[in-house]
Structure 1
Amino acid sequence: MTKQQNEQITLAPLPQEELAIFKEEIQEAFMKGLQDSFPEAEDSTKMGPLPSEEDFEHSLTVKDSVVRQIVLNGERIGGVVLNINPETQRNEVDFLYIKANAHGNGLGTKAWKAIEAAFPETKVWELHTPYFEKRNIHFYVNKCGFKIVEFNHKGNPGPNIEGEEPESDEEFEFFRFEKVMTEESSEL
């Protein structure tokens, strides 16, 4: 076991002056996932950043948005943007990333446990991930205990996308995941 695997992951507020770097790190991590699945996507200049500037800005301006950096030994190794609903405690993960140089050491799983510990009142966690992100699907289902509860596509866009027209079917194919944390939340 490496020293890094023995270390504690913590969540820390993101200083406002580091927001631009944080966004670049998220976009780099998401683009790497796309390129791993579709090597022909190497030229990302044609498609723009992932997530888009608009999606990133929207996630930060939602009423109950929480932005945290994932820290190991005083160094940011990733980050998360959450939407915490204090009334329903049905909380959403907008973006979660671990830097590429920290992959494969179990740090993502430790980061997820730190997120759960930071928000113990959560009844249900929800998130979306693209259909092609096998690494994400494995992580959320097999490591974190999520279940796939819906497949969103052009014919079933889901509640948050109504009125938006995707350019292609593939652009809009996502799995919706949920993790129920308490028995009473299953009645939601």
Structure 2
Amino acid sequence: MKTESEASRVTLARVDKADLPEFKKELRDSFSVAVIEAFGAVGDGTIPSDDDVDSSFAAPGSAVYHILSDGKKVGGAVVSIDEATQHNALDLFFISAASHGHGIGTKAWAAIEAMYPDTKVWETHTPYFEKRNIHFYVNKCGFKIVDFYHEHHPLPDKPPHDALPGGGEFFRFEKVMRG
């Protein structure tokens, strides 16, 4: 068993524009694992959709990162940084299935927080069925669940996600860093 000092070093590296198609594929492969575990199949659509991923890449203040463990790509993250309000968002976050259970996600989140120390509030979302994500955000990273979006309380400013497994039900999380 490795000691903490021997454990992998987790860092972030900006994704070059030319790497975005491969990043998108790795993201989808990772997200598909949870859908298959919960529902047995991904279904007809790609998860997340091209529109969702592309809009995250192109959002104002967005930054796209590879997550590296000892220099090897093991995941990725897309954040949106609002310099004026410092209410920032973790839009997409994934660790490859082969790298789950080694503390890489927690270290990657710590690296993101360290990269943006002026953040007042972080926000993120995850589907209701993604128990592993819910555990990660609440128990490992210190987020609080602040909204549950469903048929009678839909995501604001977004079309319904009926095509998503589970009918598009999502939790919204916040982590208050400072006032």
Of residues 126, 148, 151, the one that matches 1:151 is 148
In structure 2, distance between residues paired with 1:76 and 1:25: 10
In structure 1, distance between residues paired with 2:163 and 2:48: 17
Of residues 168, 172, 186, the one that matches 2:168 is 172
Of residues 95, 106, 110, the one that matches 1:109 is 106
Change (3 A) 1:8 1:38: same
In structure 2, distance between residues paired with 1:112 and 1:181: 13
Identical columns (%): 47
In structure 2, distance between residues paired with 1:109 and 1:36: 22
Structure 2 SS opposite 1:142: helix
Match in the other structure for 1:71: 68
Aligned length, in residue pairs: 177
Maintained 8 Å contact 1:154/1:166: no
1:121-179 residue CA offsets vs partner (Å, 9 max, x unmatched): 11100000000000000011011101101101121113232xx2443793220000000
Task: Give 5+ residue unaligned stretches, structure 2.
Answer: none
Change (3 A) 1:69 1:48: same
Match in the other structure for 1:139: 136
Match in the other structure for 1:18: 19
In structure 2, distance between residues paired with 1:165 and 1:10: 35
1:125 aligns with 2:126: no
In structure 2, distance between residues paired with 1:129 and 1:160: 16
Q: Which amino acid aligns with 1:60?
A: F
Maintained 8 Å contact 1:91/1:125: yes
Structure 1 SS opposite 2:114: helix
Maintained 8 Å contact 1:84/1:90: yes
Q: Which amino acid aligns with 2:18?
A: E
In structure 1, distance between residues paired with 2:152 and 2:89: 23
Structure 2 SS opposite 1:6: coil
Maintained 8 Å contact 2:123/2:175: yes
Match in the other structure for 1:99: 96
Structure 1 SS opposite 2:92: strand
* 1:23-42 alignment runs, 5 A limit: 23-39=24-40, 41=41
Task: Give 5+ residue unaligned stretches, structure 1.
Answer: none
Maintained 8 Å contact 1:147/1:178: yes
In structure 2, distance between residues paired with 1:179 and 1:21: 30
TM-score, normalised to structure 2's length?
0.93
